[in-house]
Structure 1
């Protein structure tokens, strides 16, 4: 699923524009790596039940994709007096995926995560700027934009009109926002607003995921029944590193577990490490496929089929099969003939 085409301000020139980004944990995890940040990854969340998150802790923030509507009212108070929160306005179309991710990364203070040179330098440069100026700097940050645009979908044809769809178009548009706890309070970070949105206090004994749940559910309920175009992802510490650290602790430090129990736990953790390695391999493979331009190959195949007279027979066969399938579905969905009904 792609992000919203909802940037503020005018569209940049084509060479400096930002592409749409798919809402996928593999894509966001590679964005993190591309920015030079280590120790973090993104996982998809399928439920808002807090117990379902236990295996991913620590969870540093959530990224939520939803259908964007104009004049979306904030669910809490927009704050302007929090200099300790890094917040940037969205000043360019299609940038909300990267902005949602950076809103989390640039506000995290955790030993697991190293921002790296690019993000540390950007944060330091923009630290004293206002949100609009930060947004302008982000729009023109070449390294970040290049990583973002590495997921641009290949285009077969160049259009004469570079204007992006607006909110007046019939197509649905989607938007990414972030949620995270900062110093005992829950914030929504959305570049379409003027500042961070303070949603609630987080009690000492509360899991912040319990606090954020009703806000996400409330946003979902604003839409019509049957609307399922939502996606929720969590920014977490690198799971492979986490499991490897747990193994090292069991190997080198005293443990209340017996030798047999300890070996069983180590074996389980090594299985988790292998699964994480396989996941990273799969992400790399999927992202390579996303970047590969298959269009010239498809065009050439269609051209060769046309020249050898095979294209139209394939088309007619497919057309016939589609019609038969439609007739079968119609027959299955229509009421039974009264004469065939049981008394």
Structure 2
């Protein structure tokens, strides 16, 4: 299967077609990658308690889509590099070196950190096995070379309900993933130097919602909008 990724002639940077922010597009991709169909991505309709109660349980991870503002990202990168940002060695993390791949990066980060809960085989399972002892930078290099994942990403990206932008288009939104590892809530964004530890957590959904609300305030309720998607039971199978 041919990949639709592109390489900039100027700096040889690899770009992928951006993935649509929809559970349907995400599910198509992860099932092709080898994720068990017992789980799936679902919309989170709001961050207030009554709306969070409607989210199918258990929630394994959250995907957050937000406007990419330079000041906000700079603050996150500073926090990630701070000595106070303690990260468990059990957190699976990878740097992002592929342009416009942040949606797939967030999905990979979410799935990589719940491998003990969710069966993963196929190309993604093989990638996790191959990279389990590598550094975040080395994992990024392996993803750049992985034609199977690139091709399946591309196939899913162009099948969305909206017209897919060009691979090297200037995208105004960014993704991150939230997971719970060793009792702490982590936000994973491959453009930062390390996972962001948001502190102790015994309820991934509610604790991540609290952090996301803080992010929204920091972004001054940017009119370009936000979205949150949960990884939990596959509702289409019920």
Give yes or no for the alignment of 1:129 onto 2:127: no
- Choose the corresponding residue for 1:27, options 10, 25, 28: 25
Q: Deviation per CA, 1:28-50, whole angstroms, max 9, x where unpaired?
A: 11111110111221001111124
User: For residues 36-55 of structure 1, what are the structure 2 equivalents within 5 Å?
Assistant: 36-38=34-36, 39-55=38-54
In structure 2, the CA distance between the partners of 1:42 and 1:130, relative to structure 1 (3 Å rule), is same
Q: Is the 8 A contact 2:67 2:224 kept in 1?
A: no
Q: Is the 8 A contact 1:11 1:93 kept in 2?
A: no
- Choose the corresponding residue for 1:143, options 139, 148, 160: 148
In structure 1, stretches of 5+ residues that fail to align are 1-8, 155-161, 167-171, 242-272, 274-343
Q: Which has the higher contact order (CA 8 A, sep 6+)?
A: 2
Give yes or no for the alignment of 1:189 onto 2:188: yes
In structure 2, the CA distance between the partners of 1:208 and 1:152, relative to structure 1 (3 Å rule), is closer
Asked which structure has the greater CA Rg, the reply is 1
- Number of residues paired by the alignment? 215
In structure 2, stretches of 5+ residues that fail to align are 1-9, 160-165
Q: Deviation per CA, 1:131-181, whole angstroms, max 9, x where unpaired?
A: 111111112211111111013549xxxxxxx99355xxxxx6110101111
Alignment-derived partner of residue 64 in structure 1:
64
The CA distance in 1 between the partners of 2:187 and 2:102, in whole Å, is 14
- CA RMSD, aligned part only? 2.6
Q: Deviation per CA, 1:102-140, whole angstroms, max 9, x where unpaired?
A: 1010110454x2111322221121112111111111122
In structure 2, the CA distance between the partners of 1:227 and 1:90, relative to structure 1 (3 Å rule), is same
Measured after TM superposition, the shift of residue 236 of structure 1 is: 0.7
In structure 2, the CA distance between the partners of 1:151 and 1:95, relative to structure 1 (3 Å rule), is same
Measured after TM superposition, the shift of residue 229 of structure 1 is: 1.5
The CA distance in 2 between the partners of 1:234 and 1:217, in whole Å, is 16
User: For residues 1-343 of structure 1, what are the structure 2 equivalents within 5 Å?
Assistant: 10-12=11-13, 17-38=15-36, 39-55=38-54, 56-71=56-71, 72=73, 73-74=75-76, 77-78=80-81, 79=85, 82-111=88-117, 113-153=118-158, 164-165=168-169, 173-202=172-201, 206-225=202-221, 227-239=223-235, 273=238
Q: Is the 8 A contact 1:77 1:199 kept in 2?
A: no
Relative to its length, the structure with more strand (as a share) is 2
Relative to its length, the structure with more helix (as a share) is 1
